[in-house]
Amino acid sequence: MKRREFVKKAAVVTTGSIVLPYLLPSGSLFARTNAPLADHVVYVIFGGGLRQQDSILQRYLADSQNFNVGGNILYNMLEGAPPTSKIAYGTTPSGQPDGIQPIPKILSQTLQKQGTIFAEMRAVSGGHYGGLNSLVTGSRVEGQGLKVRPINPTVFEYARRFGGFKATDTWFIGNTIGNSVPLLNSSKHPDFGLAYGGNFFAPNITFGGDGFAALSNAKIYHPQEELEPMYKMKNFLDNSFNIKKGDMPGIRNTDDERTQIKEFIAATFQRQAAGLLPMPPVSGGDGSTIGYAAEVLRVFKPKLLVVNMSGIDGCHSNFTGYLQSMHRADHALGFLWNYIQNSIPEMSGKTALCFVPECGRNLQHNPILDANDWYGYDHGDTNSLRVFGGMVGPNIQSNLMVGSESNPIGTVTDFNLTIAEILGYKSDVINAGHIDPNAKSLFDRI
Amino acid sequence: MNTPIFKIVITAFLLLFFTQCKKDKNTRYEIIQTPSYGDNLNKDKDKTNIEFHSILTTNLFQKPSSINELTRTDRVIQSCGDKTLINEVIISNYMNSNLVKLPSRRMMVDSTERFVEETYVRFFIRRPTEAEKTWFINFINANKSNVNFRPELVYTAFSASDEYMFY
């Protein structure tokens, strides 16, 4: 072999051996742009509009109903003593006053003690869809219409494209099919879109009465003798039709993933009937959504799961119900974190939890009184841009409070970059150029 | 020969020749019965969930579902991110009904070409191309020995295909 030829071949082999191990099915050349801080992220949208005064500022009724009663009703999340009078945020044992029974604390140590809380952040929208949209895309939502997919890529698309994750590694568990929630698992961005979208379930429909009627009697086909030829025929038909990427009606899982999800659907109906689903002790509503999210975590152990709650939004017309929903959401969040740590060994100690509401609520009440003669609160003014958020898990500083009422730090759009940093592809997301230009990873805000 | 009279005669003759009366032609137009099927090139509008399941249940049960059932099914489809996957589950739910009308396995095996053509027309409202027909005939023949390979699986593949979601 001539010297020049030898040098050329050696260069090709060396380059190939460096590059090839990092080629991903997603087409991304390099898997990670920073060292991951955790293997999994669970992102809880503590949603529905959470008023800063009634939550992290722990003023209970003092800043809303002219009763001088403060206290912390989010005691799985935050440090602080609960209210001592006017108890209406709990459950209602038979024959007793509404909400009289506070739900026992689940976590032995609050999330505040275990992680980092950003006490005073800014939301980018005082509305639900704008708020949710900004949380999943990390962008400001100017020019965004309702009832359409986000115009900017979502956290799922970044995870799949830059993290190289498959569809069943990314999940969005929604609490409703209203408010355009089912459209938030993917954007319509031409460089990302449904090809990189996350899986989505709205469990109260999928596994509720509608889903039971439409899905629970489904046949379980034999994987080799029935499903395999069926998928071969379907794939042949799909290749003949050659659908355009932009025309895809939903996200796509591989054949193996589809089989796995079908088995999950069938098993979930069986476990539901047998009472085996991991539900919070006080369930229903948001608690039920969190329970199904826990079931998805147990089975799929995804890299990224986003779950949203919205029971709190009853505050428009029922302040007492709002307090109860807030307390139950805290209970459900505590349950979820506890379940990950104690019942999913593959995720225990390797999972980061992020939580934030999509918006706050107004400073002034509306004229609607509930059964306790307490006023309701809408959202949309500048007070509804006041929110708090937090994160807990490996490589996240414990017992740290960042910012205060007089010193706001961070915006809700920071969470997308924070998740990208935790999973190891922050630079890719920044370089893609679709994130709020003022957003930073929360690690960079500390 | 070049006298004016001769020219006049010739001109008159030509005028008479080209303007003479002609016998009417009896043209008859008839209709030739030819089945007309489209192709898949112009299917670019996706069916709504309700349209999809209304057509599907008509194909499978030979009667459409009630609007309540369709609305319920629509909600379930919206509640899942992978539409083709959830459609497959719903289809297999339908296949568990004893009301579903399927061709026999014998018909599929013994009259494979006819079965393939009828399935294409039934689901895609078009005839298969020669390549499609050949592929399916070969595939069905190759799976003859698999007793679990039934028309139900072929129907499920067609119902869950991309083309069936468009019109």
Q: Domains, chain A, ranges and CATH? A: 27-213+243-444 (3.40.720.10)
Give the full edge-to-edge strand order of the sheet including A170-173. A199-201, A170-173, A304-308, A40-45, A351-356, A386-392, A116-122, A400-402
Distance from CA of B63 to the nearest CA of A (A): 17
* Distance from C-alpha of A70 to C-alpha of A83, rounded to nearest angstrom: 6
User: Does B146 reach chain A within 8 Å, measured CB to CB?
Assistant: yes
Residue A13 pLDDT = 45
| B141 contacts on A by Cβ (under 8 Å) | none
Which chain B residues touch A218 with a CB distance below 8 Å? 89-90, 92-93, 96
Q: CA A342 to CA A275: how far, in whole Å?
A: 19
Cβ contact A221–B89 (<8 Å): no
Hey, are the CB atoms on A218 and B153 less than 8 Å from each other?
Answer: no
For residue B41, what pLDDT is reported? 67
Whether B81 sits inside 8 A of A251 (CB atoms) is: yes
Find the residue in A nearest to B48 (Cα).
A249
Chain A residues lying within 8 Å of B163, measured CB to CB: 237-238, 240-241
Is A315 in a helix, a strand, or coil? helix
Q: Indicate if the pLDDT at residue A14 is higher than 60.
A: no
Inter-chain residue contact A243 with B43, CB threshold 8 Å: no
B window 76-105, beta carbon within 8 A of A: 76, 78-86, 88-90, 92-93, 95-96
Between A285 and A302, where is the model more confident? A302
- What local confidence, expressed as pLDDT, does residue A27 receive? 46
- 8 Å CB contact between A421 and A159: no
Quote the minimal CA–CA distance from A220 to chain B in Å.
Answer: 8
pLDDT for residue A296 is more than 60:
yes
Q: Which of A119-133, A141-155, A274-288, B48-62 has the lowest mean pLDDT?
A: A141-155
**Is A143:A276 a contact under the CB 8 Å cutoff?**
no
Q: What rounded mean pLDDT belongs to chain B? A: 88
State the pLDDT at residue A314. 93
H-only helix segments in chain B? 4-19, 49-61, 67-78, 83-95, 105-110, 112-124, 130-142, 151-159
Residue A42 near residue A351 (C-beta atoms within 8 A): yes
The token pair at A441 is 């990873």
| pLDDT score of B132 | 95
Which of the pair, A21 or A421, is modelled with greater confidence?
Answer: A421
* Opening angle at CA A418, ends A412 and A422, nearest 5: 155
| CB-based contact B146 A250, cutoff 8 Å | no
- Report the alpha-carbon distance of residue A92 to residue A97 in Å, rounded: 7
How confident is the model at residue B27, as a pLDDT? 81
Domain assignment of residue B11, yes or no: no
- Taking an 8 Å cut-off on Cβ atoms, the answer to whether B82 and A258 are in contact is yes
Q: Which of B50, B82, B99 to mutate to test the interface with A (most CBs of A within 10 A)?
A: B82
Bridge partners of A400?
Answer: A116
| Confidence band for A16, pLDDT divided at 50, 70 and 90 | very low
Structure tokens at B58: 């008509």
Per-residue pLDDT tens over the stretch B116-152: 999 999 999 999 999 999 999 999 999 999 999 999 9
User: Does the residue B37 lie in any domain?
Assistant: no
Q: Quick check: A29 pLDDT over 80?
A: no
User: Which residues, at least 6 apart from B49, have a Cβ–Cβ distance to it below 8 Å?
Assistant: B73, B74, B77, B78
CA A226 – CA B92 distance, rounded (Å): 12
Long-range CB contacts for residues B121-127, cutoff 8 Å, separation at least 24 = B121/B37, B122/B59, B122/B158, B123/B59, B123/B155, B123/B158, B123/B159, B123/B161, B123/B164, B124/B40, B124/B158, B124/B163, B124/B164, B125/B37, B125/B38, B126/B37, B126/B38, B126/B39, B126/B40, B127/B37
Whether the per-residue pLDDT at A30 is higher than 90: the answer is: no
CA dihedral over A383, A402, A338, A253, signed as positive or negative: positive
* Residue among B82, B93, B135 whose CB faces A253 most closely: B82
Q: Which residues of A107-117 are buried (b: 16+ CB within 10 A; e: fewer)?
A: beebbbebbbb
Nearest CB partner across the interface for B162, out of A202, A214, A241: A241
What gap in Å lies between CA A445 and CA A417, rounded to an integer? 12
Question: Which residue in A229, A241, A253 is closest to B163 by CB distance?
Answer: A241
Under an 8 A CB cutoff, do B80 and A219 touch? no
Which residues in chain A are contacts of B160 at CB distance < 8 A? 234
Query: Of A200, A196, A168, A195, whose CA–CA distance to A183 is shortest?
Result: A200
The total of structural domains in chain B comes to 1
B161 touching chain A per CB within 8 A? yes
* B135 lies in some domain: yes
- In this predicted structure, the answer to whether residue A1 has a pLDDT above a threshold of 50 is no
Verify whether the Cβ–Cβ distance A243 to B146 is below 8 Å. Answer: no
Residue B93, domain member (yes or no) = yes
Statement: residue A6 has pLDDT above 60: no
Q: Are A211 and B76 in contact (CB under 8 A)?
A: yes
| B156 → chain A, closest CA residue | A230
pLDDT in tens, A408-421: 999 999 999 999 99
Write out the residue range of the structural domain in which residue B161 sits.
49-165
How much is the pLDDT for B31? 82
Q: Does the distance separating the beta carbons of B78 and A226 come in below 8 Å?
A: no
- Give me the residue from A238, A250, A262 closest to B89, CB to CB: A262
Pick from B72, B92, B162: CB nearest A221: B92
Residue B17 in any domain: the answer is: no
pLDDT for residue A17 is more than 80: no
pLDDT score at A21: 42
Question: Does position A18 have pLDDT exceeding 90, yes or no?
Answer: no
Chain B residues whose CB is inside 8 A of the A214 CB are 72-73, 76, 90, 93
Give Cα A106 to chain centroid, integer Å: 21
What proportion of chain A, given as a percentage, has pLDDT over 70?
91
Q: Which of residues 4-23 of B touch A (CB under 8 A)?
A: none
Asked, for residue B21, whether it belongs to a domain, the answer is no
Residue A206, H or E segment? helix A203-206
Closest in B73, B76, B85 to A261, CB measured = B85
Average pLDDT (B39-58) is 85
Average pLDDT over residues A346-362: 97
- Contact between chains at B90 and A218 (C-beta distance less than 8 A): yes
pLDDT single digits (tens) B79-114: 999 998 999 999 999 999 889 999 999 999 999 999
In this predicted model, which residue has the larger pLDDT, A162 or A16?
A162
CA of B34, closest CA in chain A: separation in Å? Answer: 25
The verdict on residue B138 lying in a domain is: yes
Mutate to test the interface with B, among A230, A232, A252 (most CBs of B within 10 A): A230
CATH classification of the domain holding B107:
1.10.3130
A-chain CB neighbours of B149 within 8 Å are 225-226, 229
CB B95 within 8 A of CB B132: no
Contact A203, A292 (CB under 8 A): yes
Chain B neighbors of A260, CB-CB under 8 A: none
Instruction: Please determine, for residue B4, whether its predicted confidence score (pLDDT) is greater than 80.
Output: no
pLDDT greater at residue A323 or residue A1: A323
- State how far residue B86 is from chain A, nearest Cα, in angstroms: 8
pLDDT at B10 over 80: yes
User: For B148, which of A185, A197, A225 is closest by C-beta distance?
Assistant: A225
What percent of chain A shows pLDDT beyond 90? 80
pLDDT in tens, A141-173: 766 777 889 999 999 999 999 999 999 999 999
Phi, psi values for residue A289, rounded to 5°:
-60, -45
The continuous run of DSSP H or E covering A59 comes out as: none
Chain B's closest residue to A197, CA to CA, is: B81
Binning pLDDT at 50, 70 and 90, where does residue B37 land?
low
Q: What is the mean pLDDT of chain A?
A: 91
CB pairs under 8 A between A and B: 139
Mean pLDDT of A60-69: 95
Tell me if B148 is assigned to some domain: yes
pLDDT tens digit string along A228-245? Answer: 999 999 999 998 887 665
